[in-house]
Amino acid sequence: MIVVTGAAGFIGSCMVSKLNNKGLKDIVMVDDFSKTEKLPNIAHKSYVEMVDRRQFFPWLRNHAAKVEFIFHIGARTDTTEFNKAIFDELNVNYTKEVWKSCCEFGIPMVYASSAATYGDGILGYDDEDQSLSFQLQPLNPYGISKNEFDKWALQQTLTPPRWYGLKFFNVFGPNEYHKGRMASVVFHAFNQVAGRAGKKAENQGSGQSGKQEGGTVRLFRSHNPAYPDGGQLRDFIYVKDVVDVMYFLMNHTGDSGIYNLGTGKARTFLDLANAVFTALNLPASIEFIDTPFDIRDKYQYFTEARMHKLRSAGYSKPFFTLEDAVEEYVQGYLQDGTTF
């Protein structure tokens, strides 16, 4: 039996699909299933049980002997939320309870960390120097919460039999329809270009405005003289690569610890926007707007995962190129509104 928390969310639901595609159906999905906007993500999944996240620990105590692995993907991921108490509850304390349960019952686990822990990147993006976690200065409460748990995990003498904390970089792909402002730039750019008006397309992405207007993509203007408009660099990674790595780690017997999960190659937001136009076979039309004040001083201008550690652990599969991933996402999912 495999447990996936956050199973109705973006990455969690894609992980369930990955497991199903590998013939695994003995899956327990954990989430807050009262949030109906996420339910299409699990409409066609194969699983044995749905457990409300508030009831998960009593459930686990009664079923631990059957659980082989836990993917703890559930988290509060809104980088524009500034209520620290929310992150303490959902990202730190809840994850500590998952960890302690895995220790008690001898269950290996993967948990979701984030590249947001690296802050402005001045200290680099090195996952091999675990002491770096104690020096990082994340730019928002979300990043702080993820780094707080990473630091706590690294200090524990009692650990699960195997554990892997994954610092997700900029993940995009199918099943993020419900994420609103926090959906990827690809998602919002598609809605702008394709003329998908409505609530989904009115929200903002982390790299551009979500306001749909005339098929033009609006990217955030640079407020850093070191970067041109649209030249802000991020390590964009397709969600199918993310779940492939997680599946690999479930079957991996190497060193536990914290691992970066990006492609190792930063690309610009202009590259990403142009890839959306190319996937739609349309000429590019791009405008720039000011970055909102509420995130301007907490904006990452450059992220790029150092991927040597994961490769050294034996993961050899190549990652999607940005262009190939955007093409598959746009043509295979966004145009039809389908899920993975």
> Residue range 15-37: average pLDDT?
97
Q: Which domain holds residue 297?
A: 177-233+266-303+327-334
pLDDT of residue 197: 39
pLDDT digits 0-9 by tens, 260-292 = 999 999 999 999 999 999 999 999 999 999 998
Residue 339 lies in a domain: no
Does residue 322 lie in a domain region? Answer: no
The percent of residues above 90 in pLDDT, for the chain, comes to: 84
| Mean pLDDT calculated for residue range 308-334 | 97
The CATH number covering residue 242 comes to: 3.40.50.720
Q: What is the pLDDT averaged over residues 293-303?
A: 86
Instruction: Tell me: do 19 and 36 sit in the same domain.
Output: yes
pLDDT of 80 reads 67
The 10s digit of each residue's pLDDT in 190-247 is 999 987 533 333 333 334 444 433 489 999 999 999 999 999 999 999 999 999 999 9
Q: pLDDT per residue over 40-56, tens digit each?
A: 999 999 999 999 999 99
Q: Is residue 83 predicted with pLDDT exceeding 90?
A: no
Domain identity same for 160 and 202: no
Is residue 286 included in any domain, yes or no?
Answer: yes
> How many domains does the structure of the chain reveal?
2
Q: Has residue 294 got a pLDDT over 70?
A: yes
- Per-residue pLDDT at 64 exceeds 70: yes
Tell me if 158 is assigned to some domain: yes
Examine the domain organization and report whether 109 and 56 are in the same domain: yes
State pLDDT tens for residues 84-143. Answer: 888 888 899 999 999 999 999 999 999 999 999 999 999 999 999 989 999 999 999 999
Are residues 12 and 31 in contact, defined by beta-carbon separation less than 8 angstroms? yes
Say what percent of the chain tops pLDDT 70.
94
Active site residues: 142, 179
Same domain? 188 vs 132? no
Q: Examine the domain organization and report whether 9 and 151 are in the same domain.
A: yes
Same domain? 297 vs 162: no
Residues 90, 102, single domain; the answer is yes
Is the domain of 188 the same as that of 114? no
**Per-residue pLDDT at 253 exceeds 90:** no
For residue 327, what pLDDT is reported? 98
Q: Answer whether residue 166 shows pLDDT above 80.
A: yes
Hey, what are 198's tokens? 């409505």
